[in-house]
Chain A
């Protein structure tokens, strides 16, 4: 009785071989899908892991790199990870933060919704716009690199030369902030008793350390400052977290301590949160026209301006850059009024009016430190067209691009600054050095 001769056994054997082949084939197919042509045993751990790297220089693309690391985390991390999208947006947040640029910011869902609302005049919180500004003393003693350990505010302070501060750049009329006397240019020092991280205090502490060494102050005085610093650190708020407390929420109150330029004592206020509607482009009591860069700006401007109108660009917010072309076409005749040039030397955009006002105009344009972003670009264009500026434009005229992500978070990206002349040529990305 030789079973090999039985047709049933032969069929069974063939069947078994086919089935085994399919299983191996399926696994091999998966390896090809997941990791390209990497041998099976290595691919089991994913091509990102070092043991799987066969040849140097065969680095995965950024998307694959991300995919592989997220697979690793999902497999190994102590708690199950269900939200991949959160990993992705966390990554985006990290990339934006690494730019250390106050004009490039990541916003979570609520913050991003609020950011978009602000552009249509809808505000919550205390009724202000606050922005990160580089101001105040520079930490002369920075530590160049982080060791990859936890990013606590203290480490951040010591590592960076300067931490941007929060400046009030718009106060919505009739809001809680306006009624309490919050002014443009006020700097936020603390929120609900929590210190907002700023380099100035660290520089003061470093000075005290030098003073102690020079025997100008006692160890008690130094330790008093050290204790004060430690207490502050214990409950420190990073600027963006502080911002969130000020500009979001419709109920409750928030305690603010503000530093006002030329006022020695900090100003303490207790403010109610609510919802506030800012007015758009309109005629002001003195006959001048406030220009708010939003979707309706150009249409509202048309009936309000004549060749000698005074345009008020103070306390109108950063504005939406996409409103600039239509507003320029309403205000200015055919011509070129500057360019947006990146720090890398690329001309990103030319501010050009193809068919505009028939005649030349002589506007007076009111500006101050609150004239920022797209509004500052508008001021620069008007100045290039011969308008007379009243006041000082202190904020750089920076163009921000807004990117929305699928989970309704988003970020702004600094793409360049207004310049009178276009850059000479394109700089290829490959030539850009770090």
Chain B
């Protein structure tokens, strides 16, 4: 065997070794990071003030020098939170163990309630609708009742989300709700057992005086498209002059459900383009042959709580000139997140891709360093703020001025 052969083997081995060392980076389409290479050759990376050293030093400094007592874990979590929020994306978040648990409960659906949809009220929370097959309805709670206490504690002034969190709990456990009802002088307390709630995602109505149909879509889940078709068929039998699709306070949900519903409007058209790292691109389209006739105009109601799939649904109808958007700007959620569980039961929720509407628009919410809204979301064609002085109830044209405006827009188009 010649020296040349040895040399060839040696060089190949070296290259292979280096490739093995950098394999993970190659997979991730990154250059091998200098920290790992530095460590290999015994370079003291600590002297160069690597970012993790900067972080570690500041952490130690605060732990050792700060006047007050600091729980190390809390400080670390705050650091991770700060690090992730430095990306300026409100959806990339560090979830400390407790919040992480709540998030997984929410997404895995192990959460139980009483079967009512609540909205903001000065005294607590107003039941906008009470599901007929839920335990709250069975106990006697009705739409428009105002929940003023949960388990004996006043809830006035709390955000509706916080009230909902207090009402929800383990299946079968009791919760006491104190209710104020218009025309009834004394508040009444009900004890209700929490149960698994199957939320209807589409509620239909027909307004006799204006001959306008109304579909409130509360979220997008598997049965939503089917419920949408069913409720729409009921409205069609009344030969409406127009249709309002209400997506206010709809936080989104399954994109596929939204795409199915959009297939009733347009065939084989782009719904969204999702773009991720390294040129990854995925296009979601409507079905080629699932459209139906729309002999009347459509208005979509949106507000700042319309997010994600809601915004896609509304934005696609707008881009293909199938509907007029009425209300206020939407939330501006144009991204997809993945949750990565970490060793200490905390987790990292990271934005991994972005949506773009058919016209190419990125409706992503822009916030400042303090998280306050700057810009973003869908802009309505007809802007109208909700008038709180009328004590509005969504879906009631007498008190809901945004709905009134939507009907007005429809009737002007129908004439």
- A219 contacts B82, CB within 8 Å? no
**B296 sits at the interface (CB 8 A):** no
**A112 sits at the interface (CB 8 A):** no
- B343 contacts A48, CB within 8 Å? yes
User: CB-nearest residue of chain A relative to B347?
Assistant: A50
- A88 contacts B68, CB within 8 Å? no
Contact of A151 among B36, B85, B338 (CB under 8 A): B85
Give Cα A406–Cα B162 distance, bound, in whole angstroms: 41
Among B130-138, B214-222, B369-377, B401-409, the stretch that binds chain A is B369-377
Give Cα A91–Cα B76 distance, bound, in whole angstroms: 9
Give Cα A235–Cα B99 distance, bound, in whole angstroms: 28
- A29 contacts B55, CB within 8 Å? no
Contact of A94 among B64, B80, B89 (CB under 8 A): B80
**B209 sits at the interface (CB 8 A):** no
Give Cα A212–Cα B157 distance, bound, in whole angstroms: 12
Among B7-15, B199-207, B251-259, B265-273, the stretch that binds chain A is B7-15
- Give the residues in chain B near A434, CB-CB below 8 Å: 69-71, 74
- B122 contacts A76, CB within 8 Å? no
- A219 contacts B59, CB within 8 Å? no
- A97 contacts B51, CB within 8 Å? no
**B397 sits at the interface (CB 8 A):** no
- A14 contacts B9, CB within 8 Å? yes
Interface string of A394-410 (1 = CB under 8 A from B): 00001001010110000
A348 → B minimal CB distance (Å): 8
- Give the residues in chain A near B276, CB-CB below 8 Å: 78
Residues of B1-28 whose CB lies within 8 A of A: 1, 5, 8-9, 12-14, 16-24, 28
- B343 contacts A22, CB within 8 Å? no
Give Cα A344–Cα B98 distance, bound, in whole angstroms: 27
Give Cα A399–Cα B371 distance, bound, in whole angstroms: 31
- B343 contacts A53, CB within 8 Å? yes
**B389 sits at the interface (CB 8 A):** yes
- Name which of B49, B58, B92, B340 has the most chain A CB atoms within 10 A of its CB: B58
- Name which of A75, A234, A429 has the most chain B CB atoms within 10 A of its CB: A75
- A19 contacts B371, CB within 8 Å? no
- Give the residues in chain A near B33, CB-CB below 8 Å: 71
- Evaluate whether A29 and B40 lie within 8 angstroms (CB atoms) in the complex, with A95-B79, A241-B368 already known: yes
- A417 contacts B67, CB within 8 Å? yes
Interface string of B309-320 (1 = CB under 8 A from A): 000000000000
- Name which of B24, B99, B351, B367 has the most chain A CB atoms within 10 A of its CB: B24
User: CB-nearest residue of chain A relative to B94?
Assistant: A148
Give Cα A415–Cα B78 distance, bound, in whole angstroms: 19
A74 → B minimal CB distance (Å): 7
- A22 contacts B16, CB within 8 Å? yes
**A47 sits at the interface (CB 8 A):** yes
Give Cα A96–Cα B275 distance, bound, in whole angstroms: 35
Contact of A62 among B19, B76, B89, B372 (CB under 8 A): B76
Residues of A31-85 whose CB lies within 8 A of B: 33-34, 44, 47-53, 59-67, 69-81, 84-85
Among A221-229, A290-298, A377-385, the stretch that binds chain B is A221-229
**B39 sits at the interface (CB 8 A):** yes
Give Cα A363–Cα B24 distance, bound, in whole angstroms: 70
**B414 sits at the interface (CB 8 A):** no
- B67 contacts A344, CB within 8 Å? yes
- A77 contacts B13, CB within 8 Å? no
- B13 contacts A18, CB within 8 Å? yes
**A25 sits at the interface (CB 8 A):** yes
A105 → B minimal CB distance (Å): 13
- A77 contacts B389, CB within 8 Å? no
- Give the residues in chain B near A62, CB-CB below 8 Å: 55-56, 59, 76, 79
Contact of B23 among A27, A80, A158 (CB under 8 A): A27
- A91 contacts B86, CB within 8 Å? yes
Give Cα A76–Cα B24 distance, bound, in whole angstroms: 14
Contact of A77 among B92, B102, B344 (CB under 8 A): B92
- Give the residues in chain A near B53, CB-CB below 8 Å: 63
Interface string of B274-295 (1 = CB under 8 A from A): 0111000000000000000000
Interface string of A244-258 (1 = CB under 8 A from B): 000000000000000
- Give the residues in chain A near B70, CB-CB below 8 Å: 99, 432, 434
- A152 contacts B372, CB within 8 Å? yes
**B188 sits at the interface (CB 8 A):** no
**B232 sits at the interface (CB 8 A):** no
Residues of B108-130 whose CB lies within 8 A of A: 122-123
Residues of A398-434 whose CB lies within 8 A of B: 398, 401, 403, 405-406, 411, 413-417, 429, 432-434
**B382 sits at the interface (CB 8 A):** no
Give Cα A152–Cα B276 distance, bound, in whole angstroms: 27
Interface size class of A (residues with CB under 8 A): 35 or more
- B79 contacts A77, CB within 8 Å? no
- Give the residues in chain B near A69, CB-CB below 8 Å: 80, 83-84, 94, 342, 348
- B84 contacts A344, CB within 8 Å? no
Give Cα A26–Cα B18 distance, bound, in whole angstroms: 6
- B67 contacts A88, CB within 8 Å? no
**A147 sits at the interface (CB 8 A):** yes
**A343 sits at the interface (CB 8 A):** yes
- A25 contacts B51, CB within 8 Å? no
Give Cα A84–Cα B343 distance, bound, in whole angstroms: 22
Contact of B30 among A74, A95, A241, A342 (CB under 8 A): A74
Interface string of A87-105 (1 = CB under 8 A from B): 1111111111111010010
Give Cα A394–Cα B70 distance, bound, in whole angstroms: 26
Give Cα A32–Cα B88 distance, bound, in whole angstroms: 33
- Name which of B12, B22, B372 has the most chain A CB atoms within 10 A of its CB: B372
B124 → A minimal CB distance (Å): 10
- Evaluate whether A85 and B51 lie within 8 angstroms (CB atoms) in the complex, with A7-B1, A417-B67 already known: yes
A87 → B minimal CB distance (Å): 5
- Give the residues in chain A near B17, CB-CB below 8 Å: 22-23, 25-26, 29
A311 → B minimal CB distance (Å): 27
- A153 contacts B350, CB within 8 Å? no
- Evaluate whether A77 and B372 lie within 8 angstroms (CB atoms) in the complex, with A30-B24, A413-B66 already known: no
- B62 contacts A99, CB within 8 Å? yes
Give Cα A408–Cα B9 distance, bound, in whole angstroms: 49
**B237 sits at the interface (CB 8 A):** no
**21 sample A-B contacts, Cβ–Cβ < 8 Å, listed by A number:** A11-B9, A18-B9, A29-B17, A29-B21, A48-B343, A59-B344, A66-B83, A71-B33, A87-B51, A89-B54, A89-B86, A99-B70, A101-B67, A148-B100, A152-B371, A153-B370, A206-B157, A223-B388, A227-B388, A414-B67, A434-B70
What is A's interface to B at a CB cutoff of 8 Å?
A: 7, 11, 14-15, 18-30, 33-34, 44, 47-53, 59-67, 69-81, 84-99, 101, 104, 141, 143, 145, 147-153, 156, 158, 206, 209-210, 212-213, 219-220, 222-223, 226-227, 234-238, 241, 342-344, 348, 398, 401, 403, 405-406, 411, 413-417, 429, 432-434
What is B's interface to A at a CB cutoff of 8 Å?
A: 1, 5, 8-9, 12-14, 16-24, 28, 30, 33, 35-36, 39-40, 49-56, 58-59, 61-71, 74-87, 89-96, 98-100, 102-103, 122-123, 156-159, 162, 275-277, 335, 338, 340-345, 347-348, 350-354, 367-373, 388-389, 391
Known contacts A34-B36, A76-B352, A344-B69; 7 further A-B pairs (Cβ under 8 A): A22-B16, A50-B343, A66-B79, A73-B84, A76-B338, A89-B54, A227-B388
